[in-house]
A and B are shown apart, each in its own frame.
Chain A
Amino acid sequence: MPNNHNLSVIGHAQIKIDAMGKVTGETKYADDLVLPRMVYGKLLRSVYPHARIIGIDASRARALPGVFAVITGKDLPIKYGIMPSTQDEEALCVDRVRFVGDPVAAVAAIDEETAERALELIEVEYEPLAPVMNIRDALDEKFPQIHAYADHHNIHKFVALEFGDLDAGFRAAEYVREDVFFYEGDTHLAMEEHACIGHFSADGKLTLYSSTQTPHYVHRALEKALQFPRGHIRVIAAPVGGGFGGKTDPFSHEVVACKLSMLTGRPVKITLTREEVFYTHRGRHPVLMWIKSGVKRDGQITALHFKTILDGGAYGSYGIASTYYTGALQTVTYKIPTYKFEGVRVFTNKPPCGPKRGHGTPQPRFGLEVHLDKIARELNLDPAEMRRKYVVDDGTQTVNHLTITSCGLRECIDEVVKASDWKNRKSQIPNSKSQIKRGLGIACSSYLSGAGLPIYWNDLPHSGVIVKVDRGGGVAVFCGSTDIGQGSDSLLAYIAAEEFGLKPQDIKVFSADTDLTPVDLGSYSSRVTVMTGNACIQAARIVKEKILQASAEKLLVPPASLAMRDGVVICEDDENRKLSFVQAINLAEAKFGTLTGTGSYKPPKRAGPFKGSGVGPSPSYSYSACVAAVAVDTETGEVKVEKLFLAHDGGRAINPLSVIGQTEGSAYMGFGEALMEESAFRKNMHKIPSLLDYKSPTTLDTPELHAILVETIDPEGPYGAKEAGQGPLLPVPPAIANAIFDAVGVRIDEVPITPDKVLRALEEKSKGNAPRFGPKDFPVIKMPEAIKVEPPDAKHAPRLVQ
C-alpha cells in the first residue's frame, strides 16, 4: 500500500459530497424538475421491426384539446449520431423504421395522459420489410439492407489488423488451440429512466436539462439536429441516477423536447418509461467470437488470432469504437508477441447497441480467459500461475502499440489466490457425494483510464477545470464532468481540499453545465478521475501559488517554506508564522486580483502509426484479477456464486471507499451478466422489456464480495490514480465460467450461463459427449486484407522467443 502520510484527504476514506442529498431525497433528478408552464412530451414508437413509412396523419392528434404540438420526422430531418462517421440517427424516423420502438412522432400536451391519448390518434401507414434479427441473417444478403452506408450490405464495419508476424508466432508454438464463444447482449438497467426538459425561453435561448453522461456531445448534437447555434444552447446534466454507458449518446427524446419547446414556447418534459429505456438501449453488443492461439508448453503465448462479430442493432451509436474495443485490449494483460484481430459489426432490426460498462471488452475478455483456462487444463498448468508468469511489464509497449505505464496485475493475482485459498480448490480436494459441487475459477483483465482520443477529431483539451476562491473563504470548482453516481463531483472536492489544506465539505462543486463549466468530454471510458483530476490539480495549484506568494510576503518567509493544511497557511520552519485561509486569500486577492485558476488536460499522444490506432490508447491501464467460488447443483444446473474475490489495481485510491464501491458494483454487474441478464428477442421483438422479466440479481442472489485494492502509483494519474469504474467487471464472467468447470467439469462457452445450459452440458457429459454448451461454429466472412503493422520499437515490445 502506498504511503498516504503526506496527504490529508487523498487516500483516506471520505463520504461523497452529494451523499446526504441523495439519501434524504433532496437531490433533484431530471424528472423531479418542474418549471412554470411546463408541458409533457411523449414519443410514438414503431410497432414494426423494419418498415417504410408511407404516410403519417396527425390531424386528429392535433385537434385533441390539451395538445400543444405534434411533430414528425419531417420537422427534424437532419441526422446526427455520436460518432462523426456514423451520423445515421433521426430524432423521429423520416421514411423508415428500423426496430420496434424506433420513434416516429411526438406530442406535447398538458399532461402525460393527454399526450398518450394523442399518440393513439396519430395514424402511421407502414410498408413492412423483412426484419433482420440476428448475426446470421445480417450476413445473408437475401435480407434487405438496413442502412445504405454500410461497408457491405448489412455489415456495418470491417476491421482487420495484424501486428507482427502471426505465422511465425504459430510456428513457434508447441500447442495450438481454437475455440468459439458467444456473449449475449444485455442492458445497463440504471435505476433512473432517462428524463429531460427542453426549455426555449423568452430571450430566445434554449436550455436542456437531461439525465446524460455526456452534456458536451449532446450540446453538439442539438446544434446539428435543431440547426440552432450552439452558443445559444445550454445543456445541464441533472444529477444522474445511474448511467453505466446508457446515457452517453445524444437521444431522440432530448432533441424532441427541445424542438417541442421551440414550437410551443413552453418547457417540455419527457420522461421515458422503463420499456422505452429498453428500446433506447445502447447496451452490451451480443458478440460471437473465434479465438486461436499458439503457446509454449509453459503457457507463454506466441500468437493470438481473434475474430469477433458484433450484433449492433439498428444504428451506429458507438459501434465502430465498440468493434475496435473487442480487439484492442486483448494484448494489455499478458505478453503477446504476434496478434491478428478481425472484427465485424452488423446491423440488425433491434434496439441499437452501444457502450455498457467495459465497452466492448467484457465479451472478448470472457473468450480469452476461458480459452486460457482450457489451455492451462490441457497443459496441466496452474491457471493462476500460468497467467502470472507472463504478465506485461511496466514501461513496455504491447504489440499493438499500447503503452503500459504501471501494471499491478501480478499483485492482484497473488491477492486473490491468497484470499480464496486457491491452492486448495476442488481439483485438489475431491468433492463430497452431495449433488452440490464446488469449484474455484480465476480470470484477469485490464481496462483503460480514459480514451486517449476524443470521439470527434480535435486538438482541444479533454477536460477543463476552473477554480475560483472567494474572499469570504468559499472555494468553488467548475468542471464539465458529470457525476453519474461514480463520485466525480466528490473527486473535484477531494483534490481542491487536498491542495488548499481544507476539508472536502468546504468545497463547492459546479459541474456539467455547458454555460457555467469548461468542457469535459463526459463520463465514459473511465476517463474522469485521470483527466479532470489532473486538470483540477493544475487549476488549484495556480491559485495556491498566488496564495503562497502573497502569504510569504506577509509572513516574511520564502514561499517554498509555506504549506496549506488544516485551514491555515503555515511556515514549516516556524509554525508561529501562519495565516488563516481567509486572511491568506484576502492578501492574495489584493495582490493579484480576482482569484481563479484554470486547468486543462490532454492525454499524451500515443496512438500507433496505423489506421484504427485511435481506439485503445489511454494514459494508463487498470488491472483486475478475480477468483469466483461457485456451488453447482448437478440436478438442476443452478449455479450459486458464493464468493467473488476481486483485486483491482486502480492506481492510488483517491477515496478507497469509492474504489471499493466501484469494485463491488462492477463485480455485481459482471455476476448478473454471467448468470442471468440478457437482451432476449422473440418474434422480432424485445421479449422482456421490464424490470420484472429482465432478470437482474437481487440482493438475495448476490455473492459475498471481497474487494481488494492494489495501489500502484501511476505516473500519469492525479496522485497516481487510475480507473476503477469499469475494469473490475471484466474478469467476473470468465472467472465464474472457469469455476463451473472446476466444480463439475463442463464448459459453458456462452453468456449468460443459465441452469438449462449447465444441465444440458452435464447431460452431454454423462452420455460421454463433449461436456460443453456453446456456439458450434463461426461463420465464414470474406474479410478485407488485414492492415499489417510492425510492432513498436523492439526494445520496448514483447519479443517472440524462438
Chain B
Amino acid sequence: MLRLPPFEYLAPKNLADAAQLLAQYGDDAMLVAGGTDLFPNMKRRQMTPKFVIGLNALRELRGIKNENGNVVIGAGTTLTQISQSLNLSALATAAGLVSSPQLRNAGTIGGNLCLDTRCNYYDQTFFWRKAIGFCMKKDGDICLVAPGGNRCWAISSTDCAPVAVALDASVRLVGPKGERVIAAAELYRDDGMDYLTKARDEILTEIILPPADGLRSTYLKLRRRNSIDFPILGVAAAVRVAPNGIVEHARIILGAIASHPVQAIDAEKILIGQRLSDDVIAAAADAAFKPAKPMDNADAAYAWRKKMVRVYVRRALTELKEQN
C-alpha cells in the first residue's frame, strides 16, 4: 500500500495548546481531526507537513448545544453525530451523505468544511502526477484542466459547505491574534489552491446556525454511487415562505461545480415575492443552470453535470414546496 511520508504527530490537550503549536510551527504544520481527507492526501504526497497537529483530544470542539437560540456545533463533532441530529435539518442530510459509514464515524464537520478542493488531475499519487506533468496545485506550474489559464480549477467538494452557506451559518476561527466569527460564505474563496479565507494559523472551532424560524431546507447530492463518492453536484436550498405562500427568503447554493460554494443569486431573485409554482421553480432552475460551468476534472461528463444543475435545483425546490 501507499506509505505515509515521515512526520511528527503532535497531540495538544486543549485548544490553546493547539493554537500555540500551530503558531509555533507555521507552514510546516497541518491540523488533523478525523484524518479522512489529510492522510490519503499525504500518502499521495499532495501534502507533506513536518508536523501534524491532532485535534482529537480537544473535548471543547465536540458536541452540539443551543446558545441564545442558535445551534452551536463543535468543529470536532463527527459527521455521524451530525447526521443523527434531527434539528439540524439539511445539514444532517448533507453530513449523512458524506462518503461511507466508516468515514463518517471518523470525519468531522470542521474537517468537511475545510476539505481540500478536489480535481482528478490532483487527487492522484506522486507517480501519476509526475507521469502526466505536475499541476500548479502541487509541484507544478500549470493547470491541467485549463492549461491556457493562470488559475487552479480544483473543485470545492464538501457536502456540508453549501448547506452551511444556505442556512446562513457562521464559523468561529481561533488564532494567535484572538478569535473572529465570519459568515460561512466568507470562509470560501474562488481559488482552487487558496480556497479558504481561514489563515493558516487559525483553527475552525465552531459552526453556528441561526434559529430555523420556519426555514425550509434541503440538500440534494449527485454522485455516481449511493455511497463513498464525493459530490459531483450538490444543491443546498433554503426558503422561508410567508403564511400567504409568498417566498420571503431564498438561498440556493451549488456545491462541486466550482472552487467554492456558488450562490445562484439570479435563481434566488426569481423566487423572492413569488409562490413556489412549477413555473417559478422551472425559471429559477434555469437561472441556476445557465451560469454553472463544471469542468472536466471530476467524475462523469461535464456537459451532463451541467444539465443536472437544472434538474437538481428544480427537484430541490419542488421538495421545499412540498415540505410543509
On A, residues with C-beta under 8 Å from B are 45-48, 100, 112-113, 116, 193, 271, 273-275, 635-637, 676, 683, 685, 687-690, 692-693, 695, 697-701, 754-756, 759
Select B304's contact among A112, A273, A637, beta carbons within 8 Å. A637
* B311 is an interface residue with CB less than 8 A from chain A: yes
* B3 is an interface residue with CB less than 8 A from chain A: yes
Given A100-B131, A113-B3, A700-B227, CB of A695 within 8 Å of CB of B299: yes
* B300 is an interface residue with CB less than 8 A from chain A: yes
Residues of A within 8 Å of B3, CB to CB, are: 112-113, 116
* B16 is an interface residue with CB less than 8 A from chain A: no
* B246 is an interface residue with CB less than 8 A from chain A: no
* B263 is an interface residue with CB less than 8 A from chain A: no
A754 to B299, CA, bound (A): 11
Given A275-B128, A635-B311, A692-B228, CB of A756 within 8 Å of CB of B300: yes
Select B225's contact among A636, A689, A697, A756, beta carbons within 8 Å. A697
* B86 is an interface residue with CB less than 8 A from chain A: no
| B118-135 interface code vs A (CB 8 A; 1 in, 0 out) | 001001110110111000
On B, residues with C-beta under 8 Å from A are 1-3, 6, 100, 120, 123-125, 127-128, 130-132, 144, 224-229, 299-301, 303-304, 307-308, 311
In contact, B299 and A701 (Cβ under 8 angstroms): no
Given A112-B3, A113-B3, CB of A698 within 8 Å of CB of B227: yes
Known: A47-B130, A113-B3, A690-B124. 9 other contacts (CB 8 A): A100-B131, A273-B1, A637-B304, A688-B120, A692-B229, A693-B299, A695-B229, A695-B299, A754-B300
Q: How far is the CB of A714 from chain B (nearest CB, A)?
A: 39
Q: How far is the CB of B308 from chain A (nearest CB, A)?
A: 6
A187 to B311, CA, bound (A): 32
- The secondary-structure label for the interface of chain B is loop
Q: How far is the CB of A468 from chain B (nearest CB, A)?
A: 40
Q: Which residue of A lies closest to B312 (CB)?
A: A636
Given A273-B2, A687-B120, A756-B303, CB of A676 within 8 Å of CB of B224: yes
Residues of A within 8 Å of B228, CB to CB, are: 692, 698
What 4 A-B pairs are tightest by C-beta distance, nearest first?
A700-B226, A47-B131, A756-B304, A756-B301
Residues of B within 8 Å of A100, CB to CB, are: 131
Residues of A within 8 Å of B120, CB to CB, are: 687-688, 693
A274 to B125, CA, bound (A): 11
A759 to B301, CA, bound (A): 11
Residues of B within 8 Å of A689, CB to CB, are: 124, 128
Q: How far is the CB of A296 from chain B (nearest CB, A)?
A: 41
Q: Which residue of A lies closest to B311 (CB)?
A: A635
Number of A-B contacts (CB under 8 A): 70
Q: Which residue of B lies closest to A702 (CB)?
A: B226
Q: Which residue of B lies closest to A691 (CB)?
A: B228
Residues of A within 8 Å of B132, CB to CB, are: 683, 685
A687 to B298, CA, bound (A): 11
Q: How far is the CB of B43 from chain A (nearest CB, A)?
A: 9
Q: How far is the CB of B129 from chain A (nearest CB, A)?
A: 10
Q: How far is the CB of A277 from chain B (nearest CB, A)?
A: 11
Residues of A within 8 Å of B224, CB to CB, are: 676, 695
In contact, B301 and A275 (Cβ under 8 angstroms): no
Residues of B within 8 Å of A688, CB to CB, are: 120
Q: Which residue of B lies closest to A700 (CB)?
A: B226
Residues of B within 8 Å of A116, CB to CB, are: 3
A687 to B123, CA, bound (A): 11
Select A698's contact among B127, B225, B304, beta carbons within 8 Å. B225
Residues of A within 8 Å of B308, CB to CB, are: 636
Q: Which residue of B lies closest to A48 (CB)?
A: B131
Q: How far is the CB of B154 from chain A (nearest CB, A)?
A: 15
A697 to B128, CA, bound (A): 24
A698 to B128, CA, bound (A): 26
A113 to B1, CA, bound (A): 11
Q: How far is the CB of B155 from chain A (nearest CB, A)?
A: 13
Q: How far is the CB of B54 from chain A (nearest CB, A)?
A: 22
Interchain residue pairs with CB less than 8 A apart (13): A46-B131, A274-B1, A275-B2, A275-B125, A676-B225, A685-B132, A687-B120, A693-B123, A695-B225, A698-B227, A698-B228, A700-B227, A701-B227
